[in-house]
Homo-oligomer: A and B are copies of this chain.
Amino acid sequence: MSSRAGIVVTGTEVLTGRVVDRNGPWVVERLRELGVDVAHIAVVGDRPADITGALRFFTAEGMDLVVTTGGLGPTADDLTAAVVGAFQGREMALDEALEARIAEILRPLAERWPDLDMDALREANRKQAVVPAGATILEPVGTAPGLVVPPADGTGPAHPTVVVLPGPPRELQPMWQTAVATEAFVAATAGRVSYEQHMLRLFGIPESEIAETLRRAQDGGVDLDALEVTTCLRGGEVEIVTRYEPRDTATYDALVSVIRERHADTLFSDDGTTVDEQVAALLRERGMRIATAESCTGGLIAGRLTDLAGSSDYVAGGLVTYADDAKAAVAGVDPALIAEHGAVSVPVAEAMATGAVARLDADIAVGVTGIAGPGGGSAEKPVGTVCFAVATRDGPALSRSLNLPGGRADVRDRSTTVAMHLLRRVLLMGDDLAGGPRS
């Protein structure tokens, strides 16, 4: 038994890359967690022939389920519901009760935009309430309803059931929970297999080392054919994701033992937690406040620290000392240090971090100064040279000078990850010094 699905991501803005598709991979992961195998994501523009072509292809490939995203908006190029309805042999009809519910949702919008064209709004409202007869309605999160559309009786050989979802991830993701609970979805995925899936995260190691570890595990008797292991290098971290049927749990545990032994220093997460979640938990547990002092990363580290809800519990704030005079004016860095070592140096990173501790009254801070590029590099300090320092109220605790690969955006992004790992390391060092647990 098995259950197979395809995904159709619609939207010319996605095809041409103006918008990055997050939905395809997100839905793939959700389906895989449910034991449904996804072979193919199709990205197509807002053209009925192309959407229909993808549906035809997935039907020919014997998919049980197709998920479409996008094309549920109010404009003329939003036509997914009609295309799916036609493909499934179902007439389109206005659902007046749904139209009224959408009008209720739109009411505050109309109040917020006093000059709004009410006829245009009513037209858009109506369009979004025209749905295939017999489809299951998924209540709107924004203004567009989703749909679960089984094939009408007598429609072609074995059409898949089609789940129609809105494009914005903040609408699609809550609506997904509703979709998977519908009778139509459950019936379409009756053949699904239940899998376990776990992720290990490592930092400070090249991906080729993991390939070698997997070979050694296999040689040592771990049956890797029972496991679906995917490794991926992402932003400097290596993620090892393993999917397996529950009866193969002992095999997975054996693999984890091999990895733990060979990579004790670089394995930082075996329970799915990110370095961000770990740093947040450590700060919160200890009642500590954190601050930042950033030059080349321009505020992205503070931005990353404040991504998590509840971060006001432990984030004091930060300093963005982009210009050299700002390093002195705002972080209290001695200009003589900059004159002697250069703005991109460990002594300046340390002075920035200790300055952030003082100015923000924080218990711990990270300072980062570097050359993101494309300009600014030299023979001694090429593009990608970035200096990091973590300081506590007792002064500098850990510093690094690294050369990071890639272009401007890569260097900035990778620097935020390095900063998070250095913070984690210092927070755990505290455990060591106090004789406490080390993970």
Contact = CB atoms under 8 A, between A and B. Distances in A.
Contacts of A26: 17
A250 B307 CA distance: 47
Contacts of A280: none
A41 interface: yes
Given A15-B41, A294-B299, A306-B322, 14 more contacts: A13-B234, A16-B29, A16-B230, A16-B241, A21-B21, A40-B42, A74-B207, A75-B231, A120-B211, A170-B406, A170-B410, A297-B303, A310-B375, A317-B320
A218 B312 CA distance: 51
A238 to B, nearest CB: 10
Interface string A196-213: 000000000011111110
A5 to B, nearest CB: 12
Given A18-B241, A232-B19, A298 B309 contact: no
Contact of A211 (B54, B76, B207, B229): B76
Nearest to A305: B298
Interface residues of A, number: 112
A289 B326 CA distance: 11
A33 to B, nearest CB: 11
A330 B329 CA distance: 11
A25 interface: yes
A322 B312 contact: yes
Contacts of A124: 208, 211
A79 B231 CA distance: 13
Contacts of A29: 16-17
Contacts of A406: 170
Given A18-B241, A309-B375, A373-B309, A39 B46 contact: no
Interface in A100-148: 109, 112-113, 116-117, 119-121, 123-124
Q: How many chain copies?
A: 2
A45 B39 CA distance: 6
Interface in A221-266: 229-234, 239, 241
A206 B46 contact: no
Given A116-B206, A329-B360, A44 B53 contact: no
A81 to B, nearest CB: 16
A287 to B, nearest CB: 14
Contacts of A15: 25, 28, 38, 41
Contacts of A425: none
A417 interface: no
A344 interface: no
A230 B317 contact: no
Given A16-B28, A25-B16, A42-B41, A211 B74 contact: yes
Given A212-B117, A302-B320, A43 B46 contact: no
Given A40-B42, A329-B361, A207 B319 contact: no
